[in-house]
Structure 1
Amino acid sequence: MTYLLTQLANGLSLGLILGLIAVGFVIVFTSTGVLNFAHGSVLLAGVYLVAVLHESLGFWFAALVGILGAALLAVLINAVLVRNLAESNPGTAAILMLGVDILLLTELTRRIGSDVKPLGAPWGADVVSVGGVTLPWSRAIAAAVALVVFGLLWYLFARTSAGVAMRAAAADGDTAALMGIRLSRTGAAGWALAGALAAVAGIFLASFPAPGVTPTLAVSAFAAIPAWVLGGFDSVVGAIVGGLVIGVVTALAVGYESELHFLGRGLGEVVPYAVMILVLLVRPSGLFGGKEAVRV
């Protein structure tokens, strides 16, 4: 029973991290209509900055630079490559994002090389035990940070003029523009927010289970895509719930892989996509998505 609770706790913490990434997918999609397949490389770029700068700046300041750097990179991608293309041809914009992802990942892989770059996170490999349930400090802190971030996002979208403007632009861009809302500004803000969320999540993904920054971190981030699709393309709440579902399912699949050996190795890497497919067969729009997940 204790082992099961430990796996569930790890799954929930992983799910909150995936939820941060999935929310970034949702924000970009609802604000500009783009399927941002370069999200994983933006995440890796932010974490790479932390790994490179932590010795000279200290971890916390380096983390701030990495988060801001990822936000700026996302804004540049939108401004230079996407902004004038997404509205007229979202399919081409999605393909463009695949190309951007490949280029960024290739350059970052060249810079990182074959070494594992330490992140310099102060929590290291320490663990915390409560009632027999053991959880790495990095995952416990990640869960706490994610909950705080989700609370701040709620406040942003529900209580601030900037957040209301972003919601209005996502709901009906033409009407929002007639009301004086600058769609280019809200789109840039959405991309910046998504990039920052990706970097925050990436810091914790690079802390556990294998501490350090490697190019495979960008691939790991794509586990958030099933969470995004599962929750619904256009639902922030759905992205969080989808992240929790995928995180728990993945943790249980990895934790009980020996008992499920007849399903083959690497079950934890496959099961998120299997769950996503099963849910979409029953509910094509996802658990919380609108019937038509498109920006009007």
Structure 2
Amino acid sequence: MNQFAQAILNGFSQGAIYALLALGYVMIYKATHVISFAQPALMVCGGLFSYHLTAQIGLPFWPGLLLAMILGALLGMAVERLALRPMVGKPVFTLAIITIGVDIVLRIAANRYMGANPRIVTFPDGSRQYEFLGLSITHQRVALIAVTAITVVALVMFFRYAKAGLAMRATALNQETALAQGIRVGAIFALAWAIAGGLATIAGTFVAAGSAGMEQNTWIIALKALPAIIIGGLDSLPGAVIGGLAVGIVESLTAVYQPDVAPFLGANFALVAPYALMFLVLLVRPYGLFGTREVERV
């Protein structure tokens, strides 16, 4: 029983990273109706921003994270302004392909900075263990869960009470109507990318603060947020959180039990488990658990 509960706890903490990344995907999709494949690069760059500010410049972890979030937000805005704004009006598929190109360019630049050595962000007292009910969790993972919860609450408050949040909700519903109401849709697009860049920076920082640090293949972690947004629904912020946590828990449980229960599936089936879960959800709910059902007349 303790093994099962420990796997759930580990998966929940890992799912917090997927949830942060999934929120970034959803933010961009809600505002622009484009699935951004640049999130892996934004995550890597955000983690490297934190590494440079803390390890190279010497800032403490939390001020370094805050400044890195600002840099990540500026990077997201720059990507939107330079790569996507000139393509407004083009097919959504074209814009999605452009985000793939942006991801490749940014990751090449990040890899040249990293080199062959992992870049590790030192979290203050991060290896300290908390023990309760026979379970254990590190101080770093407790902080990750707390930061994710605070971020989700802040986004909820932003969309409910902030003027910019209300404008973003209006733009997500109908861009033409939002323009008619005097909303600067271009500014909303930039804001969505800025928020996505900040969220990716938080995720990248805590990935870099893990035991493996930030390596040249760490960007693959961000791809696991894609099943999360499909499971939760492409346009649902609560769905992104629930989908991210579900992916983390399923991945953790699979890693613990699959080698004994179904060894014929292979040693690394845990990497495939999130996509298998996505397939099962889509069979039942094609728009995700919380996605908006689209009805078209033909």
Q: TM-score range by the shorter chain?
A: over 0.9
Match of 2:93 in 1: 91
Counterpart amino acid of residue 22 in structure 2: A
Once the two structures are superposed, residues 23-77 of structure 1 have per-residue CA deviations (whole angstroms, 9 ceiling, x without a partner) of 1100101111221101110110011111122132232222222211111111111
Rounded Cα–Cα distance in structure 2 between residues aligned with 1:30 and 1:218: 23
Q: How does 1:1-296 map to 2 (within 5 A)?
A: 1-55=1-55, 56=57, 57-208=59-210, 210-259=211-260, 260-292=262-294
Rounded Cα–Cα distance in structure 1 between residues aligned with 2:151 and 2:49: 21
- In structure 2, the residue corresponding to 1:203 is in which secondary structure? helix
**Residues 176 and 113 of structure 1: CA distance in aligned 2, closer, same or farther (over 3 Å):** same
- In structure 2, the residue corresponding to 1:119 is in which secondary structure? coil
Report the Cα offset of residue 233 of structure 1: 0.7
> Do the aligned residues in 1 keep the contact of 2:232 with 2:289 (CA within 8 Å)?
yes
Percent of aligned positions with the same letter in both sequences?
Answer: 35
Report the Cα offset of residue 202 of structure 1: 1.5
- In structure 2, the residue corresponding to 1:34 is in which secondary structure? coil
> Do the aligned residues in 2 keep the contact of 1:32 with 1:87 (CA within 8 Å)?
no
Rounded Cα–Cα distance in structure 2 between residues aligned with 1:23 and 1:183: 20
Counterpart amino acid of residue 226 in structure 1: P
Choose 117-126 or 65-74, whichever is displaced more.
117-126
- In structure 2, the residue corresponding to 1:265 is in which secondary structure? coil
Rounded Cα–Cα distance in structure 2 between residues aligned with 1:61 and 1:113: 26
Choose 255-264 or 216-225, whichever is displaced more.
255-264
Choose 114-123 or 221-230, whichever is displaced more.
114-123
Counterpart amino acid of residue 185 in structure 2: L
Once the two structures are superposed, residues 67-115 of structure 1 have per-residue CA deviations (whole angstroms, 9 ceiling, x without a partner) of 1111111111101111232432211110111111111111211210110
Choose 245-254 or 46-55, whichever is displaced more.
46-55
Counterpart amino acid of residue 68 in structure 1: I
Choose 131-140 or 39-48, whichever is displaced more.
131-140
Report the Cα offset of residue 11 of structure 1: 1.2
> Do the aligned residues in 2 keep the contact of 1:25 with 1:39 (CA within 8 Å)?
yes
Report the Cα offset of residue 8 of structure 1: 0.6
Choose 192-201 or 61-70, whichever is displaced more.
61-70
Rounded Cα–Cα distance in structure 2 between residues aligned with 1:262 and 1:140: 35
**Residues 36 and 271 of structure 1: CA distance in aligned 2, closer, same or farther (over 3 Å):** same
TM-score after normalising by structure 2:
0.94
Counterpart amino acid of residue 225 in structure 2: A
Once the two structures are superposed, residues 237-284 of structure 1 have per-residue CA deviations (whole angstroms, 9 ceiling, x without a partner) of 111111111111011011224313221011221100111112112221
> Do the aligned residues in 1 keep the contact of 2:128 with 2:139 (CA within 8 Å)?
yes
Rounded Cα–Cα distance in structure 1 between residues aligned with 2:87 and 2:287: 25
- In structure 2, the residue corresponding to 1:217 is in which secondary structure? coil
Counterpart amino acid of residue 258 in structure 1: P
Rounded Cα–Cα distance in structure 2 between residues aligned with 1:194 and 1:32: 12
- In structure 2, the residue corresponding to 1:120 is in which secondary structure? coil
Rounded Cα–Cα distance in structure 1 between residues aligned with 2:174 and 2:85: 17
CA RMSD of aligned residues (A): 1.6
Report the Cα offset of residue 292 of structure 1: 2.8
> Do the aligned residues in 1 keep the contact of 2:34 with 2:96 (CA within 8 Å)?
yes
Report the Cα offset of residue 7 of structure 1: 0.8
TM-score after normalising by structure 1:
0.95
Gapped regions of structure 2 (runs ≥ 5): none
Gapped regions of structure 1 (runs ≥ 5): none
